[in-house]
Amino acid sequence: MFGKTMLMEFRKNWKGLLIFLVVVVLIVGLMGQLYPVVEEEFKEEELEREELVSLVREEIEEQERINLTWEWELDEFTKHYRVIEDTSSHMATSRVVGDEIVEQRFSINHTETDPEERYFAVIAVLDMQAIEDNDDLEEQYDEMIAEIEQGMVTVGMNSTVEPTDPLEELMDTPYFRMFTAGREDVRMDEIEGFFSVEIYSWFMLLVGLYLAYISVKSVGGDYDDRRMDIIFSTPLSKKQYLTEKFLGFGLFLFVLLLITGLSLTLSVYSIGELNEVGASVFIVSILASWPMFLVIIAVSMLFSVLFKSSRSAVGATFGVILVQYVFHMAGHMVEAIDFLRTFTIATYWDYNSVLLDGVFVVEDFIFLVVVAIVIFVGALVLFEKSDILA
């Protein structure tokens, strides 16, 4: 009866399969909770009300001058302005460089002894009597009423520091491109890019090595324990035996990937980012890896029937997976060996196309399915021709 071997395999290994499923779901689910921290880390430094204060540097007779101008809607309620500076944005050690300024502009010379990175803050010293006489002011400026009541309000800040994007600097390194599958538009401060780097880049190793191990142990274990002669003393054929094992692990793989995709989706939903990408993106991008892992299962079974030993087959399969992974990753980092990626199955799981472009590459999916079938048929032919040792 077809399906009996598959059912027996699940009964024998269900605990291990369930534990691995839970581990994967927990890893990918909890990883999403780290995204808000990473997003905050890569945000560009924003100075308080920077848009209200303009800073221009100019050369006058070989002397650099820093010109500050600002716009302040409470100018009629302001007695004068004060300008302070510091070498850091927190302004904890600031000093006054301009006081009792009545116009909305200020200039200061930059000397050789001055630090290159300077932060300036413009403070409005208010006319409290004029403010108290205006009954509507409190309602109009409710968000800064606490500052107004103290008699001084920070108009805004600006700096001589050139604005930089820390993520752009990181992306310029070959090492980072290794984890973005060569894409230059992957950003860690976007949810799709975060998962692309933090989960998808190593997902092949996590799942692939486990699938290789259980696939090899399933077939190679029967050789090790000399159960093959007993198994085939029943009406079960070699073809049915190997096919059911292959289909059984393929079915488990599909369920694993589906639940993983759902876990990713729920994780994104829990941090309020699901509306940005859509509910299907993570499920489809994860399921797109199914034929890649089918290839790994097929290779595992091929080595199992070739070596007739689980130990040798595990070593050979792990070696293939690790070499494939290294070539795939290093190909993005070193241009001279980029051609090697053509021979790696990970190249044909283009998850970034789904994550970033919303495009599912059907050709790659079909190609890997065909490769998996060809390798499995090779294993089947080899198994049919091999002798079963008692």
Placement of tokens 């970033």 in the chain: 356
Mean per-residue pLDDT, 114-129 = 87
Highest-confidence range of 45-49, 140-144, 360-364, by mean pLDDT? 360-364
Residue predicted with more confidence, 128 or 168: 128
Which range has the worst mean pLDDT, 198-202, 274-278, 346-350? 274-278
Of 333 and 375, more confident: 375
CA distances from 131 to 11, 126, 134, 153 (A): 80, 8, 5, 13
User: Residue written as tokens 């729920």?
Assistant: 266
Residue-level pLDDT at 301: 95
Inform me whether the pLDDT recorded for 34 exceeds 60: yes
Instruction: Output DSSP code: residue 362.
Output: H
Q: Where are the domains of the chain?
A: 4-41+172-385, 50-163
For the chain, the average pLDDT equals 86
Letter string b/e over residues 67-105, b meaning 16 or more CB atoms within 10 A of that residue's CB: ebbbebebeebbeebbbbbbeebebeebeeebeebeebe
Looking at residue 389, what is its pLDDT?
61
Q: What pLDDT, on a 0 to 100 scale, did the predictor assign at position 273?
A: 86
Cβ–Cβ under 8 Å, residues 263 and 23: no
Q: How much of the chain exceeds pLDDT 70, in percent?
A: 90
Kindly report, residue by residue over 338-387, the tens digit of the pLDDT. 888 889 999 999 999 999 888 999 999 999 999 999 999 999 999 998 87
CATH number of 50-163: 2.60.40.10
Least confident of 138-152, 247-261, 297-311: 138-152
Query: How many angstroms separate the Cα of 64 from the Cα of each of 58, 158, 362?
Result: 6, 17, 60
Least confident span in 115-124, 250-259, 366-375:
115-124
CA 181 to chain centre: 11
Task: State the pLDDT confidence band at 290, using cuts at 50, 70 and 90.
Answer: very high
Q: Do residues 128 and 151 make contact, with C-beta atoms less than 8 angstroms apart? A: yes
Per-residue tokens: 269 = 């939903």
Find the angle CA(289)-CA(3)-CA(364) to the nearest 5 degrees: 20
CB 369 within 8 A of CB 298: no
Residue 303 has a pLDDT of 96
| Strands (DSSP E) found in 150-276 | 152-159
Q: What is the reported pLDDT for 190?
A: 83
